[in-house]
Chains A and B, each alone.
Chain A
Amino acid sequence: MKKMRKYLFFTLFLIIGFIANLNAQSDLEINKVFEQYGKKKGSVLVEMSREMLKDYNFTYYKSIVTTNNKEVADFTRRCLTVDEKGAKKVKQVVSNGVVTSIYLQLPPKDNYYRLILFNETTSPEQKMTLIYIESEIDSEEILNFILKRK
């Protein structure tokens, strides 16, 4: 009985941990990119939540930049093919049959508008940028907001 109770509490705490880390991005395939490559050498991972994004009209921001790592870019492209289902493509650039740039407006989830921005450049060096943004304002407004800030 004691063992059973231990397992019960352990399971409950696992559930709590899972819930605590849950956000709208969790269900996306690109989450794997952040998880697998975010903390590796050559990567720059940034995660910002509401308290730091007050001035930016975002509620959540996560990005990863990798340099000279084609493997990550290819993996990200595969993830994007899954996430683009049901999403609106704002922009897509295909170079030599390979997607080098894609901006996706995802269907809103839990009242949050979601946007994925992906870009890969090859010169002067290979660099992949993947950004995920959640906002209470429309994705188009987010894009305009980013444009204004550049």
Chain B
Amino acid sequence: MKILKRNIISLQEVEKLIERYYEGETSVAEENLLREYLSGKNVPAQFETEKAIFGYFESEKERQTVRLVPRALKWVASAAAIAVVVFISVWLLNQPVETSYAYVDGKKITDKNEIITLAQTTIGNLVPELDEVEKGLENIQSGQVIENQLDVFAGVDF
């Protein structure tokens, strides 16, 4: 079909083009011509549906064009987010862990006094053992162990 400029295209030709468009027989150039015609002013009411269709595609095209910039921005935002995450990680790594709690039979306790009491009781379980360690340390310091061991040989005649 001969491609005409919008201002000289006849209604009949538009109708034919639309018909061919629906049949999927139009070329890219013809579709562009239709788009140009339908996006113009004073489009007859009978082509409102087609105008809407082409208008939609037009807005989609615009939307896709506009998306190019936000996509780049999204990458920048992602990089910034990663930087923030890394920064927080490093910061957390340098922070002392502030957690104090206790579990008794699976039940969580957060009361500070109760936690300290439980810890003291736990250490108390080791007290008899710690007594021995203390005695041992004292003996080593005073040489008592060696003396005690030498005492075994005290009564031996040479």
Contacts and interface: CB of A to CB of B under 8 A. Distances in A.
Interface string A96-110: 000001010000000
A113 to B, nearest CB: 16
B105 A23 contact: no
Contacts, number: 116
A47 B78 CA distance: 37
Contacts of A40: 105-106
Interface stretch (B52-60, B93-101, B148-156): B93-101
A129 B100 contact: no
B98 A12 contact: no
Contacts of A41: 105-106
B102 A22 contact: no
A52 B93 contact: no
Interface of B: 78, 81-82, 85, 88-89, 92-93, 96-106, 112, 115-116, 118-127, 129-130, 132-134, 136
A143 B106 contact: no
Nearest to B124: A150
A121 B100 CA distance: 27
A21 B89 CA distance: 11
Nearest to B82: A12
B100 A119 contact: no
